[in-house]
A and B are shown apart, each in its own frame.
Chain A
Amino acid sequence: MLGLKKADRRLFLIVAFLVIFAPFLLNPFPEWAGMAQFNAGYPDLMQKLVIFGIFAVGYNILFGLTGYLSFGHAAFLGVGSYAGVWMMKLLSMNVIPALIVSVIAAGLFSLLIGYVSLRRSGIYFSILTLAFAQMCYSLAYSVLTPITGGETGLTLSQDDPRILGVAQGADGNIPPPNVFGLNMGQSIDWAVGGWSFTFNAGYYLCGIVMLGAFYLAVRIFRSPFGLMLRAIKSNQTRMSYTGLNPRPYALAAFVISGMYAGLAGGLMVAMDPLAGAERMLWTASGEVVLMTILGGAGTLIGPILGAGLIAYLESIISTINDNIMHGWFSALPMWLDTTLVTLLHPFIGKGWHLTLGLVFMAVVIFLPGGIVQGGKLLAGLFRRKKPADTNATSATSGE
């Protein structure tokens, strides 16, 4: 089915299942329960999880396969966002043309930057991409204000032409983003007992796009082209001795991952038609690197897990405050409760970045293979198949 091998097909079906049933899976606690804090089944967050998943899956095609560490991918996300908003301003509020143009714009842009940056490798490549991204960010903030909206960001307005659609709806407002009339903000709520599940049109659009993007990534990983990319990572010199020029392959990977970033940017504005320069800041590029590493660079499922985990933890941890923690520890003795809350205080709420930094350092130090490696280690512990186990780990580690 779908031209995939059995294991890949199973992986793809698992991801598809997760995406389709996310409104249930992310909403395990009824609303009256104290744990409802950890529910993530609301549309904004689910959209974010999926969009960052796309971004990380694309980034992984470059970093995971070829080993080129780019610190400038946020620039492509930003370009995609701007292109998407412009299409909504000029053409129509239908998100399909916006998405297509986002991908194309980001692709062309990454072709340009990749062509220059890939002339160098290693740390020079990282710094070149970083320099380009910072350049784009500064320009978007200053000179390119007519195109990017500068500090306020690029927004829709009522006197945009929108030649294929309507400039204003019947009520005089800007029409919402839609797919052939299906409003992206539209949701169906389904209340069962204490649970309330939300099925959002925008989320399912993102989900379908992500499944497509993931499928493509699986095909790339398993293709001869993917093998070439892995060859770049393991030994470029040897690759060129066999008569293959690594650069076109690396450039292709760079452009593909740039297009994924553009797609993610396009989806972001399709959900919320606003594009700002801060999306291009290099810390945003750092974030996608974190997601990929945390999940497991070079694995298929890793980036999705990493992106999901970071986006989820970000929104959950930053909403926890001292009172909520006091609620959790209320069963404990008073002094223990106070100590725990005082100890945890720096890591929650606004301290979310501190937690992220610590987790990230721990992952790089102890688990360079990310969650996927951790899972394999755990599985290995449980299986207890001594000789076969080491073989299995080494054989699948390239996955």
Chain B
Amino acid sequence: MEAIILQILNGLDKGSAYALIALGLTLIFGTLGVVNFAHGALFMLGAFVAVTVNRVLNLSFETVDATRTDFLGRPLVVDTPYVEAWFGPEMGGAIIDWAVPLAVIAAIPIMAIFGVIVERGLIKHFYKRPHADQILVTFGLAIVLQEVIKAFYGANPIPTPAPEIFVGSFDFGALLGFEPFSIMYPYWRLVYFGFSAVVVAAVFAFLQFTTFGMVVRAGMADRETVGLLGIDIDRRFVIMFAIAAVVAGLAGVMYTPILSPNYHMGMDFLVLSFVVVVVGGMGSLGGAVAAGFMLGILQSFASMSVIIEFLPGINQVVIYLIAVVVLLIRPRGLMGRKGVMED
């Protein structure tokens, strides 16, 4: 029992990331009808926003502290981050410590603007082109983004720590009445799960309870009729692209303490997210989120040593295997709707 709960928990954080990326992919797909192979790169960009914020906050100036000496006997050179100098050591230290959550604030406008630029500058011209062309041009964009990041930040993963208070693990065992320390779960992963649940809820609420969201949903169902009613649906879809970019970016920002970002992390997640979208059903937002969590959890179950002994290698392929089975049995995916992407 403990093992099962532990695996479910382990699957949650990866599942959350899949769900957020897949949600964005589905939004773009459902609204613009574009297959966005650059979505993983948006996730990666978000992660590098966090890295940048962390670096900016750590910008420091050097002062010579004459009272102390370093190991060579020279006066000690002390690095003081500007933030500490401005806000005092305590407040400044706290700001630096909370770099990753603060990056969320920075990431929202950055990703939104970037999303609008990409949509207006590139994707707009591909609405009418075949899906193959859309895949290819966004694939090219993903390569370019990836290489630009590599040129600026290098090829190595850059560790970006979570705030101090989230270091350590939460003892679920004691909470649920099992042996203490039998189910340990890092705090930050809990935060990640909570964060993604909030983001998903916010996106759904936005679509469900606002007039804007209603128009967008109507546009997803029947674009032409909405256009005939005199609504400029394209402008709203641009905003949806920006929102999808923000969701992917936020997923990336918050994921940095779990996985040190490197330039190809986006591609790694992209392939899996596509599988998630397909399993969930193209164009179904609920399906994308549900499939994201489901596949994340299944993946963590498949990595249990008992199961690996029984079926070696299953942890590597379980997601793809499920995708294949789902596509063959339920071609529309688990929650796909009729008439969406049936070509």
A residues near B, CB below 8 A?
A: 67, 69, 116, 119-124, 126-128, 130-132, 134-135, 138-139, 141-144, 282-283, 286, 289, 293, 346, 351, 353-354, 356-358, 360-361, 364-365, 368
A103 to chain B, nearest CB (A): 25
Tell me, in angstroms, the Cα distance from A139 to B274 when the chains sit together.
20
Residue numbers in B under 8 Å from A144 (CB-CB): 313
Whether A131 lies near B324 (C-beta < 8 A) is yes
Tell me, in angstroms, the Cα distance from A75 to B242 when the chains sit together.
35
Whether A361 lies near B327 (C-beta < 8 A) is no
Residue numbers in A under 8 Å from B56 (CB-CB): none
- Quick one: given A124-B331, A138-B317, A143-B316, are A356 and B151 in contact (CB under 8 Å)? no
26 A-B pairs (CB sep. < 8 Å): A69-B135, A116-B328, A119-B327, A121-B343, A122-B341, A130-B271, A130-B274, A131-B271, A131-B275, A131-B320, A131-B323, A131-B324, A132-B320, A132-B324, A135-B321, A141-B316, A143-B312, A289-B136, A354-B147, A357-B140, A357-B143, A360-B136, A364-B133, A364-B136, A364-B140, A365-B137
Residue numbers in B under 8 Å from A142 (CB-CB): 312-313, 316
Residue numbers in A under 8 Å from B312 (CB-CB): 142-143
Whether A128 lies near B125 (C-beta < 8 A) is no
Whether B313 lies near A134 (C-beta < 8 A) is no
B residues near A, CB below 8 A?
A: 35, 122, 125, 129, 131-133, 135-137, 139-144, 146-148, 151, 267, 271, 274-275, 278, 282, 312-313, 316-317, 320-321, 323-324, 327-328, 331, 341, 343
Whether B320 lies near A69 (C-beta < 8 A) is no
Q: Looking across the interface, which residue of chain A has its beta carbon closest to that of B275?
A: A131
Residue numbers in B under 8 Å from A126 (CB-CB): 132, 135
Beyond known contacts A130-B271, A138-B313: 9 more, CB 8 A cutoff:
A122-B343, A124-B327, A127-B274, A134-B320, A142-B313, A143-B316, A354-B144, A356-B143, A361-B141
Residue numbers in B under 8 Å from A123 (CB-CB): 35, 131, 135, 282, 341
Tell me, in angstroms, the Cα distance from A123 to B132 when the chains sit together.
8
Tell me, in angstroms, the Cα distance from A38 to B136 when the chains sit together.
29
Residue numbers in A under 8 Å from B122 (CB-CB): 361, 365
Q: Could you count the A-B residue pairs with CB atoms below 8 Å apart for me: how many are there? A: 108
B133 to chain A, nearest CB (A): 6
Judged by DSSP, the binding face of B is: helix
Whether A69 lies near B132 (C-beta < 8 A) is yes
Tell me, in angstroms, the Cα distance from A139 to B316 when the chains sit together.
7
Cβ-defined partner of B143 (8 Å) among A139, A360, A365: A360
Tell me, in angstroms, the Cα distance from A138 to B268 when the chains sit together.
12
Q: Looking across the interface, which residue of chain A has its beta carbon closest to that of B312?
A: A143
Cβ-defined partner of A134 (8 Å) among B144, B271, B331, B341: B271
Q: Looking across the interface, which residue of chain B has its beta carbon closest to that of A63?
A: B132
Which among A119, A123, A143 has the greatest number of chain B C-beta atoms within 10 A? A123
Residue numbers in A under 8 Å from B147 (CB-CB): 351, 353-354, 357
Whether A119 lies near B328 (C-beta < 8 A) is yes
